[in-house]
Each structure stands twice: as structure tokens, then as C-alpha cells.
Structure 1
Amino acid sequence: MEETYIDSLDPEKLLQCPYDKNLQIRACRFPYHLIKCRKNHPDVANKLATCPFNARHQVPQTEISHHISSCDDKSCIEQDIVNQTRNLGQETLVESTWQCPPCDEDWDKDLWEQTSTLFVWSTANYCGKNSPASNIVMEHKSNLASGMRVPKSLRYVLPWKNNGNAQ
């Protein structure tokens, strides 16, 4: 029994193609061959049925019920089902003792503790209303390097703003 089990798992074992009796295929390539050969022989494929326990078993439709009752792979699946039902009854759910750590963050408090300076694009400094420097008039300072200027218009006309006069 054990020798036949090991023999059936041998990837180099030659198996006969159910679609073309003249073909012998290695066991490791057999599933791929079945797909290809099923497409090449649709007339034979209509007469064969696939075993529900092993897709490699292609049996004539008239013999499928006998094959299902005597399929070797059926016992493996039945044993798995029995083992799963036994384990299901023995398993007890263990409640987790993990607790979420306390949160030390207080975003509202952090917001009030921040300095009153805010980032504003293209200005050197900005002072809020409550800042002691709020009465000082701030001069607008460009962040561009000296000798550079901001373009007054775009070089290209954007497609959605095209009204016939490109620059």
C-alpha cells in the first residue's frame, strides 16, 4: 500500500492521456496537458466527466458514479473532513488579554501651545494677531534668487483656455 502511494506521487511517472490513448505524459505536466488536450479534442471531452475528488481523473460519463464511490482520493478527503470536525470540537476560543495602550496625545492642547507663527508661501515672516510683533509692518520678500522674476504670462496656452490667440 505504501509503495503504491509513493509511486502515485512520483513526478516522473508516465500517465496515459484520457483524450488520446497514444500519449504518455509525465505526472508533473499532466494537469497542463489535460487543459490543452481538452481544447484539442472537444468531441472526446464531451463524453468524459471530471472526478470531484481529483481533477486529473477524467472518466466516461457513464462510469462517473462508480468512480466516485471507489475513488482513492475520496478516502483522503473524507479523512481530512473527519480530522477537521474532531479539531473543531476540541478547540476552545482563548480570549485575548491585549488592551489598547492609553493615548498620550492631545491635539487640542498641542495646537494652543504652538507658537503663533504660521507658514505662508512666498513671505519671509508672518505674525499672527496676538503676536507682539503684529504692529510692525512686514515687507513682502520674494523667495526667488536675485536677478530672477516671476513670469507675467505663461509661455504656452493651456488647451482648456485656448481661444485662438497663442502667445
Structure 2
Amino acid sequence: MSRKGDADNSSIYSLADDKLKPDYKNFVVCPYDKHHVVLACRLATHLVKCSANHPGNRMVRCPFNSTHVLQASFLSTHVLTCPNLKDLMHFTNKETFRSPDQMAGRVEYIYCQENWNDEPETKVYDPQEHCSKNILLRSLVGGTPSQRKEFRETERKKFKELMECNEL
């Protein structure tokens, strides 16, 4: 016996289940331990840790891609068929490799008449001097209680003098 709306609910649940399922295309199996399934973007980090846990294995890394880890007996075959070999060949072949000048294009230099060395000398900013001449709330950090008390008294006197100068 079916109730009204059962078909609608089943489609909602199937959509929710699809969103919760992990995308297995992004996962790879660790070459050191077949029970380790890792995200492809985290494989390099995992291989460093996992290789430390399996020091007895005779595994070597591909010279073209550090995430290619295989047994030493298969290295020579892998080097010939490695998909990352074409990247190295691209950069070593002078006919296909473009120089940095060719990649960037021609850069025209713009002549500028401004010279910062000809500017007049300016006074260097001194924060202590600025604070002493303006009404700013400051606190002494790291002093003894007597030093903090003395600092607060001098700040009060400074405020009083600055307030009197501003009133005139």
C-alpha cells in the first residue's frame, strides 16, 4: 500500500544521497599500503609520512613526478612510459621551448621625469614626539606599579597643559 507523495520523497532522498557520496575520481591508493586511500591533492604529503612508516620497502620515486612511487625493478620501464616525461622533453627541446623574451613579448620602457632624489628632505616621523604634542591616550605596559603611577601622573599633567593651550 503506497501513500500519497512516496514517489516525491524517494527522489529527494536519492538527490541527498548523491551529494553525500564521495567523488572517488579524486582518490588514489597509496603505493606503500593498499588500505590507504588518499585524496590525489594530498598524496605527496601522505607519501612522505607513509614512506617513513615503511622503511623496509624497496620503493623508488619517479624522477619526473614525486607522486609516482614504484618498485625499483619497474623503474626503467616506468621512466620510458611516464606521462610526465613529455613535460621534460618540452623544456629540453630548443625548438619547442620559447625564451622568456618570446613569452613576455616586447616591453617598452617608459621614460619618467620624476626623480625622488631631487625631492626636498623631510623630517622623519617620531611617534614619541607626536604623542607628547597631541592628546592621545597611552598606557605603560611592562612597568612596575610605581612606574605606571608616575606615567599616569605625567600624562594627566600633559593633558591639563594641552587642554589649557587649546582653550586660549
Verify same fold: TM over 0.5: no
Larger radius of gyration: 1
Compute the TM-score of the two structures, normalised by the length of structure 1.
0.45
